[in-house]
Amino acid sequence: MENLVMLPGPTNVSDRVMNAMLTRMINHRSDDFRALYKSIIEKTQMVFQTMNDIVVLSSSGTGAVEASVVNLIRRKDKVVIPVNGEFGTRLADLIDSWGGETIRVNSPYGQNPDYSEFEEAFDKNKDIKALYAVYNETSTGTTLRYLDKLSQLCSERGVFFVVDAVSILGGDELPVDKWNVDICVTTSQKALAAPPGVSPISISARAKKYMLENPPPTQYFNLKRYFKYFEANFETPFTPALPLFNAYNEALALVLEEGLDKRIERHKACAEAFYAGLSSMGFSPFARDNARSNLVIAVNYRQGMNDKTFRDLLSQQFRVLVAGGFGNLKGKVFRIGSMGEVNKYHVMRTLSSIASVMNILGLEVNSEYNSIALKRLHGIV
């Protein structure tokens, strides 16, 4: 039996995408590569729903997030950022370490700050340069459900709007141009269902203008170089991860063939099935109702359950891989990546495997979990 990778990334990748990596090696300064790169840029724009410039980095999502910071933020620049989990904290720390000054809008893990707190932060600080937001907090399974309102606030106040969409783009709503997102960052191995190592960024015209006029003292993540090489020759300034670019291009094709609306609806239905099935087994969702993610399902362990024992049994006996908790949540929650290729098979095999592990552990399981989950998957193959 093959591993079922139900992690919050990397996730399951189709044979079609994996096979794309078997394409013969080409010269990255050739017409063959230029055709590939143009195809990637055009498809990425469609998935991002933007006409903005696209840069595709050979890096992890963390590298792309760092690129967004080093190309936009300068010493003493004030940045508003919601912090309600590990990745929001890391991003805020990165901005501060680069010389920026974060104005952190904190909330308890599993919750989102009240929108009024952002208005208050802007009212108290008249010289804010940017608002950075982690759209989907992978560590806690929470999603900022008012990103459109933050967009309006940024437009009204004339500040840059930057979205870390690493674990959500391609699986939930994010119309970059409609929401006036100046910089949007994601990565290949999550909702886009490609292998790790490719991270696209969209950059608005005004953000690009700033970057061209204020290039950072870096080499690899200097986006001005990427603009220059693309505009001159449809190339990247440094050697790209060619096999991964082919896989990413194929994954984008699959996204567009399915259609974004259908893909988002599929992710929503699978998430609802997970929440309903797991709740019937006695697991409670970690995130509040109005903040729950459709891509990372975080649930509290039942009393007396041991994280390592549970996940080891799930992996070794049933070949289903799920993630544990971060930091203070270690041992208290487990997380399921409901993203990318996720469908009825992934949901039901994961739930049945969890139920089997609970039986092994001597824990009572509601036998109705199966039918309860299936009701949410009506119409999902």
Give, rounded to a whole angstrom, the gap between the first and last alpha carbons of the chain: 21
Q: Tell me whether residue 119 is exposed, middle or buried, using C-beta atoms within 10 angstroms of its C-beta: 0 to 12, 13 to 18, 19 or more.
A: middle
Kindly report, residue by residue over 265-298, the tens digit of the pLDDT: 999 999 999 999 999 999 999 999 999 999 999 9
Q: What share of the chain is helix, strand, coil (3-state, %, to 5)?
A: 45, 15, 40
Query: What value does the mean pLDDT take over residues 140-158?
Result: 97
Residues 320 and 209 in one domain: no
Q: Are 318 and 308 in contact (CB under 8 A)?
A: no
H-helix or E-strand containing 185? strand 183-185
Confidence band of 38 (pLDDT split at 50, 70, 90): very high
pLDDT at 2: 85
Pairing of strands 183-185, 160-164: parallel
- For 186-195, what is each residue's pLDDT tens digit? 999 999 999 9
165 with 202, same domain: the answer is yes
pLDDT at 379: 75
What does pTM read for this prediction?
0.96
**Structure tokens that stand for 150 in this block:** 């933050």
State whether 293 and 353 are in the same domain.
yes
The amino acid that residue 6 corresponds to is M
Rounded CA-CA distance 55/183 in Å is: 11
Residues 157 and 74 in one domain: yes
CATH of the domain at 346: 3.90.1150.10
Catalogue the E-assigned strands of 127-272: 128-134, 136-137, 142-143, 160-164, 183-185, 199-203
CA distance 355 to 344: 16
Single out the residue in 228, 258, 288 at which a domain terminates. Answer: 258
Q: Are residues 156 and 233 in the same domain?
A: yes
217 shares a domain with 122: yes
Classify each residue of 89-114 as buried b or exposed e, where b means 16 or more C-beta atoms within 10 Å of its C-beta: bbbbebbeebebebbbbebebbebbe
Among the candidates 216, 233, 258, a domain finishes at 258
Same domain, yes or no: 211 and 334: no
Query: In this structure, is residue 381 part of a structural domain?
Result: no
Q: Bridge partners of 163? A: 133, 184
Element (H, E) at 148: helix 147-157
The answer to whether the Cα torsion of 275, 289, 152, 133 is positive or negative is negative
Q: Are residues 131 and 231 in the same domain?
A: yes
Q: Is the pLDDT of residue 129 over 80?
A: yes
Residue 381 has pLDDT above 70, yes or no: no
Answer for the pair 142, 291: CB distance below 8 angstroms, yes or no.
yes
Least confident of 108-122, 271-285, 327-341, 363-377: 363-377
Classified as helix, coil or strand, 143 is: strand
pLDDT tens for 61-112 read: 999 999 999 999 999 999 999 999 999 999 999 999 999 999 999 999 999 9
Pair (233, 132) in one structural domain: yes
Average pLDDT estimate for 38-48: 98
What percent of the chain is modeled with pLDDT above 90?
A: 96
Q: Cα dist. 354→267, 314, 321 in Å? A: 20, 7, 11
Among 7, 35, 12, which residue's Cα sits nearest to residue 246?
Answer: 35
Over residues 265-274, the pLDDT tens digits come to 999 999 999 9
Query: End of a domain among 203, 235, 258?
Result: 258
**Dist CA 313 CA 37 (whole Å):** 43
324 - beta bridge partners?
334
d(CA 62, CA 26): 27
Domain housing 108: 15-258
Task: Report pLDDT for 336.
Answer: 98
Specify the pairing of strand 128-134 against strand 136-137: unpaired
Give me the chain's average pLDDT, please.
97
